[in-house]
A and B are shown apart, each in its own frame.
Chain A
């Protein structure tokens, strides 16, 4: 089954540059409905108001980190199984383990390229 590129995608990062990069790369891959949030609190609020088919989030944000966002999303009643990809500079083993335990679907270490993003999206959503 091919990926629905009309799905709503939420990207979360406190760096505007990274939001723009991921947004541009997603558009290049054909995704057209991409929303942006600058921290976990804002993302959670948006997530509760709209149905998202994918969340791509940074980890290191304040006041709510990407890991906290992931845990809160997984604790919701609605759409708690949404595919969640962590895109972060945090590259220690314990980080990956903690994210996996919290229910992350995939993990991308910054800096990354378009090919890596595409590969991880395919792993989570299916073939393009």
Chain B
């Protein structure tokens, strides 16, 4: 018997089949050799090892420990950024509205009408914020479930390797990581200093 690759899947049925075969051979009287039983047990061990490798390859620890927290942080940052930007737009509206009284009545009406339209459009931040918050909650639920599953697997299969996914990108592609979270990014001042030091 050969060990199945991860793509083919290793079913519980296969394990049961091997164990049943071993039991049958042990129960058989007479001609069952130790080598035959040893061979079956070796297959079983290979299956278990392959299963462990397959579980490891899914890198569930990274899903729970890295990808999901990173995604929720990014989404929280989107909500914050749109809130700040919307606040700035509305500050501008307030300033325009405050000075509109200095204009002729017809112009004042026109300006206030446009300011109102801008304010109405700003409500996108509330709606997108609520939608994103909903997604963040769903991701956190998935995170909890994956973490629970991981804990169960670690308890059941001690020594489960926790391999980390390698960054396979090469060259300049490795530099493309998108906007950084504020706690991971360096400031403009730091960049200026760095540039001054480098050149």
* Chain A residue contacts of B127, Cβ below 8 A: 89, 110-111
Q: Which residues of A contact B126 (CB under 8 A)?
A: 13, 15, 17-18, 21, 89, 110-111
User: With the chains together, A13 CA to B125 CA distance in Å?
Assistant: 13
Q: In the complex, which residues of chain A have a beta carbon less than 8 angstroms from the beta carbon of B122?
A: 17, 20-21
> Interface readout for B95-135 with A: 1 if CB under 8 Å, 0 if not?
00100000000000000100010011011111101100000
Give the distance in Å from the alpha carbon of A60 to the alpha carbon of B131 in the complex. Answer: 12
Chain B min CB distance to A35 (Å): 18
Which A residues, 21 to 52, have Cβ-Cβ distances below 8 Å to chain B? 21, 24-25, 28
B15: chain A residues within 8 A (beta carbon): none
In the complex, A16→B126 CA distance in Å? 9
A6 at the interface (CB under 8 A from B): no
How far apart are the CA atoms of A60 and B97 in the complex, in Å? 30
Q: How many angstroms from the CA of A112 to the CA of B119 in the assembled complex?
A: 10
Q: Are A21 and B90 in contact (CB under 8 A)?
A: yes
Residues of B within 8 A of A17 (CB): 83, 86-87, 90, 122-123, 125-126, 129
- CB atoms of A15 and B120 under 8 A apart: no
User: Is A124 part of the binding interface, using a Cβ–Cβ cutoff of 8 Å?
Assistant: no
| In the complex, B94 has a CB within 8 A of chain A | yes
Residues from chain A with a CB closer than 8 A to the CB of B116 are 25, 28, 114
* Pairwise interchain contact A112-B123, C-beta atoms closer than 8 A: yes
Measured between alpha carbons, how far is A13 from B120 in the docked complex, in Å? 16
CB nearest neighbor in A for B130: A89
In the docked arrangement, what's the CA distance between A114 and B126, Å?
Answer: 16
Residues of B within 8 A of A95 (CB): none
- Residue-by-residue, is A97-114 near B (CB-CB < 8 Å gives 1, otherwise 0)? 000000000000011111
B68: CB under 8 A from chain A? Answer: no
* CB of B93 closer than 8 Å to a CB of A: yes
Whether the Cβ atoms of B83 and A16 lie closer than 8 Å is yes
A60–B134 CA distance with the chains assembled, in angstroms: 11
Given contacts A16-B83, A60-B130, whether A110 and B90 have CB atoms under 8 Å apart is: no
The 6 lowest CB-CB distance pairs between A and B, nearest first, are A111-B123, A18-B126, A17-B125, A15-B126, A113-B120, A17-B86
Binding site for B on A (CB under 8 A): 13, 15-18, 20-21, 24-25, 28, 60, 89, 110-114
11 contacts between A and B (CB under 8 A): A13-B126, A15-B125, A17-B83, A17-B86, A18-B123, A21-B126, A25-B119, A110-B127, A111-B124, A112-B123, A113-B120
